[in-house]
Structure 1
Amino acid sequence: MMAHTTFSYYTGYTYNPVFLETHGRNPLSYFFYNGSVIVQTFVIVSSFLLSYNLLLHVDKNPKKVLGLSMLPRSLMHRLSRIVPLYLFVLGLASTWWSHANDGALWTPLVEAEVARCRHKFWTQALFINNLYEPNTLCLIQTWFLAVDMQLYIVAAVLTLLLGRWPRLALKLFGAMFLASVAGIFAISYKWSLFSILYSMTPEVIRMQLTNQDSFNYLYTAPWGSLPASLMGLFLAFLHYDLEKRGFKANEHRWLVIAYRLSVPSMFLWVFAGLLFQQFTSPEAKAIFTALDRPVFVVLVSTALFGFCNKIDELWWKFLSWRGFMILGRMSLSVLLFHWSYNLSIMGGRLIAAQASVLEIGGDWMAVIFLTYVTAVPATLLVEYPLQRTLQAVFG
């Protein structure tokens, strides 16, 4: 929400555009320019939970054997979780949203987005909006749902095929992870598709990354997030196998050290863009593009492994706070609604915006408040009951 609030300021009129053009020199701004790599955390967790839960499900039901016959049920479980609320928000974005306000920027920002959502409604509903007419963006953040669904299918198939041989699966997932990194390097170098860090100029952001091949064919493409999905599978099989063998992570000092270094290293890796941005040769840019997400994925997975094995009791207790469970349960609603508020605030302005840390921060706080106020009834009245109904019908 913070990144998209800043993003929205580039799309409107400001009294002081020089602020937006020069604030990228501030090192803290790299969390805006290069912080989008954090999204890979959700891909890891999605694949990890899918795979680990399938393995546990078979353990609790000895008569069941992992196989592709379980794929339809696994997909229906995922679809029932996402589709009801997703279609509800798409419906609002394609219809009533355009009538919520008016103003000089309302037509080029909000009504133009509504028109794109009407045009691409069916592609959004089928989770192929990142592949079909990628330059036509409806609710820009929903690229993640498409990628997540596409990789969910891949992760489910791999788990169901390899679940009976966890040791073999670990070797294959490791090999596929390295192959996917090499593939991203080849794609990047061959077709000059580089990390989004190299595309984040004021002019490109103002046009909402339209006609940016790196954004369309790498950043929002499923192969760009494939390493994260494979690492999630690797972590699930590893944790499952070690858990059955009674492995105690606390007894291995090197694991404890790696875990404690993982979280600060995530932030340091985001800042690594400061260094790599200085190298502009195609080879250097392709190397950073190939390593950017995978390195972050490895660091996140190390931290997640530590959390799962309770290496640090303090962090375990903190992250197990029930308040996080409530906020996490509304994560889909928050993901789907916040961009509409970002554009509505900017599109409804009657005067040019004053770009500053305080102004952007104020809008960010407003978006957080409005999003969560909306997320509560959306979760309780739309998402949760429809999800339970569909899961009861389809088992």
Structure 2
Amino acid sequence: MMILRYNTFLLILVVFIKANYAQVSDEEYGSMPDLFHQDNFDKCMLLKDQAFYCSFTYQLEPLDRSNPPEVWGIIQKVINASTNYRHDKLRHSICVPHTCPNVSKASDDDPKLWKGIQDCYNSKFSEGGFKGKVIDMSCDTQYSKYPIDWLDIICGVVFVGYVVFVFYATYYEGVARYESKEVYNQLMETPKGKLLSAFSITKNWIRLKTVNSTKEVEKLRCIQGMRLYNTCLVVMSHTALSLIGPPVANTKYPESMHQNPGRLIFSSGPICVGTFFLFSTFLLSNGLFDYLKDKKEMNMKMIVFAIFNRFFRLTPTVLVVVLFHATWLRHLSSGPKWNEFVGYEFLKCRANGWTNILYINNWYDTYVMCVPVTWYLALDTQYFVMALFLIKFLKANEKHFSLIIGTILGLTMIASFCQNYYYDFSALILPVPEFFYGIKDLLGSFQFHYQVGSFIGNISPATIGIAFGYYFYKHKYDEPDQYIFRTKFRQGIWWIMTFITAFLYLIITGSIILNVETEHNAFWASVYVAVSRPLFAFIIGLGVIGFTEGIGWIALRVVQWSPTYVLGRLTFSVYLIHMSVNLVKPGMARFPTYASDSVLFITFLGDIALIYILATILALLVELPVSQLQKQVFSFEKVKKTTTDKEE
């Protein structure tokens, strides 16, 4: 709820204020050549063997620099502002036989093709006093640039075979339900029955929507709700990227981002993702300390077991998504920008998909990362391993718990400051249209990988999660008169800290940093980077403790709303699958997209609905069966069930 409240203005979305183009009037702005243009792709493909559709960048310049046309002066004024597109670099996609009929079909890197289209466009723009140069090129024909190959066939056979097996398992378990209770139990307790019941869609649907309530589960329901709302914010930010990443019809909309409150949707991203690390280590810390309460310390066998347990639980689902991106995703559709978005993803996954499976994709060849959002999953796995050893050390030195945690936080904040200062990063990635166009520049950004996805910078939320998890473990059975927020005064402090302070912090600092008129200062930018994530994580952790003690009024009801607990369980699948949707949409776009607040909001609603449907399918087919197998194979304590799930 806190994350929801901090970003309420994002969900209302973002009342974007009108950009103030002091440099040029609207009439002058409209006189510039179209920055984006796309011929009818499908009509071009109807030409069959003659179909030839090329996308390129045409670098515009005046024919006579000593006497340039008036429009050139307007272009120069507009591109002098870093918050605007480079309007001298026209991004056009044309059906060559229709627009430049004298140009013959050739390969993308053929110099004759480049010169032919350049001459064609020079002829077109010469009347306006311009010439230009083609600086990149990508062409399509009626045939796929990346046709079906042997890996596609193998994966297709495996995917189909697996789905058939799941349906068989569902049929087997479903038929068994028509038997008596005793016969059903006997069938499900056999090795075959246990295996097939793990893959039964019916059984997994029941597991998904069933909440085994305990006092501790009820106290921690807020975490699933907060995960859900946080996930929605992540999806929203990526929906915005998928809207402004491809060609845009109304270019003033993305160019005005720096002037409106909606830019904070990008600034709050790194901070909000940090809360996922906090939730993970919070639950791990609480669970492990609870398990170890009658033991002196953790041994290495337990640590290795926990690592394999996590690897077994997560990797099959990650593998399915990576293989899908590396094989059949590119065959789902086509479009002028299909290969730029989806084809490029295919190439990345073929080259580096293996790093996702080993959870090292945030370290190895990061600029060519398959399923880019999995940098978070890699970090989360690395923090999981780190947390196991840290909890082992903390368990052996519980008397010095606060000192150890404080030292780690202090060192990570200093390291974050030094890293940011050394590289002279801005405090946040500025919402500049050219940076987000095509999404490649963002994903290939040194700052993105070494600041937003920083291993050092994100340690603080994970460490704070361990601390709050330990606090909850020590106090989860306290009576109300023992709660830390037992008095009205303390509850007032909680409200101020978790809502007012955090909200103002995001608004004020974000507005200052993302104001293009604010002069960059490496020192203060580094201070912000070092302080923002631990401070925000501390506030979120404080909020969780307050919720577990039953305070929060309507906020508590929102984060504990029953559907959020079930939908929160789909967070992992949602996080993995939503990137597929955000790549396919701009890839399929036939014409420049109209972007506006209402379009963004409606698109987000459609995205979140589709993504949760796909995530449910992925969870029922892969994630939940693997989770059930994990429980059968790995367990700290193996306890045989004496009751049946049939009554569910």
Q: 1:275 to 1:167 in 2, by over 3 A?
A: farther
- Which of structures 1 and 2 has the larger relative contact order (alpha carbons within 8 angstroms, sep 6+)? 1
Aligned to 2:265: 31
The equivalent position to 2:363 in structure 1, one of 131, 134, 143, is 131
Q: 1:320 to 1:164 in 2, by over 3 A?
A: farther
1:121 aligns with 2:353: yes
Aligned to 1:381: 621
1:313-339 Cα shifts (integer Å, max 9, x gaps)? 654444333311110111111101112
Aligned to 2:325: 93
Q: 1:74 to 1:255 in 2, by over 3 A?
A: farther
1:200 aligns with 2:431: yes
1:210-252 Cα shifts (integer Å, max 9, x gaps)? 4422212222122120010110111112222344676422334
- Amino acid in the other structure paired with 1:130: N
Q: 1:65 to 1:289 in 2, by over 3 A?
A: closer
Q: 1:241 to 1:165 in 2, by over 3 A?
A: farther
Aligned to 2:337: 105
The equivalent position to 2:564 in structure 1, one of 324, 331, 337, is 324
1:250-289 Cα shifts (integer Å, max 9, x gaps)? 3345542232121343332222211244241111111111
Aligned to 1:180: 412
TM-score by length of 1: 0.93
The equivalent position to 1:282 in structure 2, one of 522, 526, 539, is 522
Aligned to 1:229: 462
Q: 1:235 to 1:288 in 2, by over 3 A?
A: same
Superposition RMSD in Å: 2.0
8 Å contact 1:2–1:364 — kept in the other structure? yes
8 Å contact 1:306–1:312 — kept in the other structure? yes
Aligned to 1:51: 285
The equivalent position to 2:388 in structure 1, one of 156, 169, 179, is 156
- Return the alpha-carbon distance in structure 2 between the equivalents of residues 243 and 389 of structure 1: 30
- Amino acid in the other structure paired with 1:258: I
The equivalent position to 2:544 in structure 1, one of 288, 304, 324, is 304
In our comparison, the structure showing a higher alpha carbon Rg is: 2
- Return the alpha-carbon distance in structure 2 between the equivalents of residues 315 and 357 of structure 1: 26
8 Å contact 2:372–2:443 — kept in the other structure? no
8 Å contact 1:106–1:347 — kept in the other structure? yes
More deviation in 7-16 or 238-247?
238-247
- Return the alpha-carbon distance in structure 2 between the equivalents of residues 320 and 15 of structure 1: 42
* Structure 1 segments unaligned to the other structure (5+ residues): none
Aligned to 1:239: 472
8 Å contact 1:204–1:210 — kept in the other structure? no
The equivalent position to 2:491 in structure 1, one of 236, 241, 256, is 256
8 Å contact 1:104–1:347 — kept in the other structure? yes
8 Å contact 2:286–2:473 — kept in the other structure? yes
Q: Quote how far apart the aligned CAs of 1:342 are.
A: 1.4
- Return the alpha-carbon distance in structure 1 between the equivalents of residues 240 and 484 of structure 2: 41
TM-score by length of 2: 0.58
8 Å contact 2:263–2:431 — kept in the other structure? no
Q: 1:242 to 1:175 in 2, by over 3 A?
A: farther
More deviation in 243-252 or 134-143?
243-252
Q: 1:193 to 1:131 in 2, by over 3 A?
A: farther
- Amino acid in the other structure paired with 1:333: S
Higher helix share: 1
3-state SS in 2 of match to 1:222: coil
* Structure 2 segments unaligned to the other structure (5+ residues): 1-234, 636-648
- Return the alpha-carbon distance in structure 2 between the equivalents of residues 306 and 81 of structure 1: 31
8 Å contact 1:80–1:390 — kept in the other structure? yes
1:48-103 Cα shifts (integer Å, max 9, x gaps)? 101110011123xx367433331012213322332121111111111110000011
More deviation in 209-218 or 247-256?
247-256
3-state SS in 2 of match to 1:103: coil
- Return the alpha-carbon distance in structure 2 between the equivalents of residues 282 and 349 of structure 1: 40
- Return the alpha-carbon distance in structure 1 between the equivalents of residues 540 and 334 of structure 2: 43
1:110-137 Cα shifts (integer Å, max 9, x gaps)? 1111111111111111111111111113
- Return the alpha-carbon distance in structure 2 between the equivalents of residues 220 and 83 of structure 1: 21
- Return the alpha-carbon distance in structure 1 between the equivalents of residues 599 and 295 of structure 2: 60
1:291-334 Cα shifts (integer Å, max 9, x gaps)? 22122112111111211222346544443333111101111111
1:362-393 Cα shifts (integer Å, max 9, x gaps)? 22122112111111121112101112213322
1:140 aligns with 2:372: yes
- After the TM superposition, which segments of 4 or more aligned residues of structure 1 sit over 6 Å from their partners? none
- Return the alpha-carbon distance in structure 2 between the equivalents of residues 166 and 315 of structure 1: 34
1:183-221 Cα shifts (integer Å, max 9, x gaps)? 1111111222343x2443222222341442221222212
- Amino acid in the other structure paired with 1:295: L
